[in-house]
Amino acid sequence: MKNRSKRINPYLTDIGTVVFVLLSVVLTITFFNFIGCKGRSGKSAGPNLLLITIEGLRGDIAGPKVPKPMEMPVLDRIWKEGKVLTRFIVASPTRTSSLASMFTGLYPMRHGVRNDRADQLPEDVTTLAEALRKAGWRTGAVVSNVDTVTASGLAQGFDYYDDSFIPPVDEIGLPRRRWAPVTKANNVTTRAITWIKTVATDKEKAPWFLWVEYSDALPPRNPPPPFSYLYPKDSYSAELSFVDANLGVLLAKVKDMGLADNTLLVITSAHGLPLGEHGESITSIFAYFNTVSVPAVFVFPGNVPPNREESKILRSVDLTPTIMGLMDLSPPKRIDGKDISKVIRGDANCEEETAYVENMYLKFWFDWRPVRSIIAGNLHYLDIDPPELYDIKNDPKEENNIADRLMADTERMKNEMNILLERTKRGKSAGEDTVESEVEAKLKRLGYLPDSIKKTGTMAHLSKGKIIAFVTMIRSIIEERKERKPAQSVENFRKIIEKYPDSPYVSYLLAAALMKSGSTGEEIEKLLGRALAGGSRYIRAAAMVKLARLSVTGKQLIEAENLLKLSARLVPNNPAIYNELGRVYVEQRLDLEAEKAFRKSIEIEPKFYKARFRLAVLYANERERNPAAMQELVKVLEYNPDFIPAHFMIAKIAAEFYRNKEQARKHLKKVIELNPEGAAAEEAQILLEKLEIP
């Protein structure tokens, strides 16, 4: 189980933030001036590694030697203190997939993480953290957004993985949820410093590796003052300046503890960020240069010469083998990346690489075609219809498609991409195809894919402009549905499905909206049947969860169980599926199986509080297990302090099992405070009176 620190105050005061900024700039200006140029100390123990990813850091805006709309004095200083790669190409503009490639040296088709919040990094893939831990390093991470929680699989190899400030979510990956708030940079910095202090002062004295993730530049942005005042109309710049200030505090603390001499510092990003270019305003759905090209800097006193820059195309899959090369360690075998540590050290000339990029978002959710691209030299080829080719040296914003003018280059790059795809086919793909075929066969036996249900067509016929409009429309409704009545969402999805009847995703979304409005009719089954017939495995898994809920309503518990087991085969790392399966087992009075299902849900995502609550309810049915129930309920409130059922249940256990009237009173009062007009408040008031608690 991962270590968890106690919560701290998540916000700085305005005055505190101003002082924070001033100190960070002053301290960091001197950060590397005092560390000298001597070689690594304690070489036998190995150097420390501080890897920082600033998500959304675009190479064309925040990189070195480019005009910036924001002040970033700390990063401006760091660019000069090491070797900077100005065109560092990530393997995917989607976060989890990109980070998985950075940490494994594998392209997405080989490590298997191609859909954020739905795919989990397989345990048989070796990560940077696993390799370093095996070599004797202590490993820690402080992450900051929902795509990098424990369920992503990125925690592999880390002794300490802190995602405790990331707000819990009700469902993960089925389908992709709305944007969730991120952990602010000041909290990330504080927790990172706390971990470094812990490992730097313990008796073991082993080297350490810490990954620190800043996500403030991602939407929804909410920059604190004074940065919000400095950039009132540019939240992206405000957030990056805020991150820069925090970066200064972190690095100054490393220097103050005397660790800078023997620490390899690497700063990069999992991806860039669209800011309105190519019709992309929130996240990348394609793979344009502004979303896949990021800066990367390596600072290692006495090992990496300062003030050096490399503008040739290099790849994020090279990150892990290069870091290990700089630390005099052997990288994992059979990976796609290669060790360019000699280039970073200045001992060898840089050979330009050909970089492959993919974005499967449109394929998996909108039944469009997969977006793949390849970058070589100054040419960027996007394999969409029609194909696009850009001269990124003379047209960095990619405004002029030259595919028709340079047809030979377009064809050559397409062939290069196909050769790379053939060479890097993932060995497990055949097995995955077998699973999908087996699931489809079982669905037919259960009667969910009859010949009468027409398989939905593909959305691949839509032009790029139309798919952008389609995605924007869907995202808008999903973002607004929490503020709207369910009937309004139903009406909106009906309008869309009239225009796009071939979309399995829209069929699923309309069915989900109808269920939320209270409907349980035949229309929902037909819509979910269409989602099953034509959807990706992710949409199919989501549809089966909804069908299982309908089956539970109809008391068809065995059918619900079968559907959920099939859903788990398609998406085995989704905690919501196992939570639903546990509920079905409870209905069947199979308590042991229910407990296993709830525990599996929590194992995948410890912060999935709904499964913890249901596990607590199960425990509370046996008096001797009330203490275990109380432990789970305390965890539930740690992740969701306003979850009324948990407060009510703690009050009952406190009153009836522990005879602790004061604790019962506290939680019953909280129930009434949270929803004074609700039925739970009435029950709480009755229990207060029954216990004669004033």
- The domain of 290 spans 55-362
Is 150 a domain residue?
Answer: yes
Q: Based on the domain organization, do 332 and 263 belong to the same domain? A: yes
Q: Which residues of 334-371 are buried (b: 16+ CB within 10 A; e: fewer)?
A: ebbbbbbbebbbeeeeeeebebbbbbbbbbbbbbbbeb
Q: How many domains does the chain have?
A: 3
According to the per-residue pLDDT averaged within each range, which of 60-64, 159-163, 514-518, 570-574 is highest?
A: 159-163
* pLDDT of 466 strictly over 80: yes
Q: Based on the domain organization, do 334 and 386 belong to the same domain? A: no
pLDDT at 518: 87
Cα 389 to Cα 285, 397, 411, 428, 611, distances in angstroms: 17, 12, 10, 32, 48
Q: Where does a domain end: 423, 452, 471?
A: 423
d(CA 317, CA 17): 37
| AA identity, residue 424 | T
According to the per-residue pLDDT averaged within each range, which of 139-143, 350-354, 467-471 is highest?
A: 139-143
Q: Taking residues 380-399, what's their average pLDDT?
A: 95
d(CA 525, CA 514): 11
Q: Taking residues 152-162, what's their average pLDDT?
A: 95
Is 675 a domain residue?
Answer: no
Cα 424 to Cα 98, 239, 659, distances in angstroms: 16, 38, 63
* pLDDT of 626 strictly over 60: yes
Cα 215 to Cα 54, 166, 665, distances in angstroms: 6, 11, 40
> Which residue did the predictor score with more confidence, 614 or 445?
614
Q: Based on the domain organization, do 380 and 298 belong to the same domain? A: no
The neighbour count for residue 454, using CB atoms within 10 Å, is: 12
- Compute, in degrees rounded to 10, the torsion defined by CA atoms 281, 283, 286, 287: 110
Q: Based on the domain organization, do 304 and 441 belong to the same domain? A: no
Average of per-residue pLDDT values in the chain: 87
The secondary element (H helix, E strand) that includes residue 89 is strand 83-89
* pLDDT of 118 strictly over 50: yes
Q: Taking residues 576-593, what's their average pLDDT?
A: 96
* pLDDT of 578 strictly over 90: yes
**Contact by Cβ (8 Å): 259, 47:** no
Q: Based on the domain organization, do 410 and 508 belong to the same domain? A: no
* pLDDT of 422 strictly over 50: yes
d(CA 666, CA 531): 47
How far from each other are the two terminal CA atoms of the chain, in whole angstroms?
41
Is 602 a domain residue?
Answer: no
pLDDT at 641: 92
Q: Which candidate, 377, 383, 326, places its Cα nearest to that of 352? A: 377
The secondary element (H helix, E strand) that includes residue 431 is helix 429-445
- Report residue 424 as tokens: 């890097």
How confident is residue 21, by pLDDT bands cut at 50, 70 and 90?
very low
Report the SS3 class of residue 211: strand
d(CA 13, CA 1): 34
Query: Which domain CATH number covers 140?
Result: 3.40.720.10
Q: Based on the domain organization, do 539 and 398 belong to the same domain? A: no
How confident is residue 457, by pLDDT bands cut at 50, 70 and 90?
low
Q: Based on the domain organization, do 358 and 375 belong to the same domain? A: no
Q: Which candidate, 214, 210, 79, 203, places its Cα nearest to that of 139? A: 210
Q: Based on the domain organization, do 243 and 385 belong to the same domain? A: no
* pLDDT of 554 strictly over 50: yes
Strand 263-268 to 48-54 pairing: parallel
Is 603 a domain residue?
Answer: no
Q: pLDDT tens digits, residue range 477-501?
A: 887 766 667 788 899 999 999 988 8
Q: Taking residues 579-601, what's their average pLDDT?
A: 96
Half-sphere exposure of 665 (CA within 13 A, CB side): 8
Q: Based on the domain organization, do 446 and 525 belong to the same domain? A: yes
Half-sphere exposure of 394 (CA within 13 A, CB side): 7
Q: Based on the domain organization, do 285 and 390 belong to the same domain? A: no
Q: pLDDT tens digits, residue range 58-80?
A: 988 877 878 888 899 999 999 99
pLDDT at 68: 83
Q: Where does a domain end: 401, 423, 445?
A: 423
* pLDDT of 149 strictly over 90: no
pLDDT at 483: 62
How confident is residue 341, by pLDDT bands cut at 50, 70 and 90?
very high
Is 357 a domain residue?
Answer: yes
Is 205 a domain residue?
Answer: yes
Is 195 a domain residue?
Answer: yes
Q: Where does a domain end: 541, 572, 603?
A: 572
Cα 302 to Cα 32, 71, 210, 527, distances in angstroms: 12, 29, 21, 64
How confident is residue 18, by pLDDT bands cut at 50, 70 and 90?
very low
* pLDDT of 22 strictly over 70: no
Is 17 a domain residue?
Answer: no
Q: Based on the domain organization, do 403 and 517 belong to the same domain? A: no
Query: Which domain CATH number covers 462?
Result: 1.25.40.10
Percent of the chain with pLDDT over 90: 65
Kindly state the greatest CA–CA separation across the chain: 86
The neighbour count for residue 286, using CB atoms within 10 Å, is: 24
Rounded to an integer, what is the distance from CA 15 to the centroid of its chain? 32
The total number of residues written for the chain in this structure: 694
Q: Whose structure tokens read 């590397």?
A: 32
Q: Based on the domain organization, do 118 and 164 belong to the same domain? A: yes
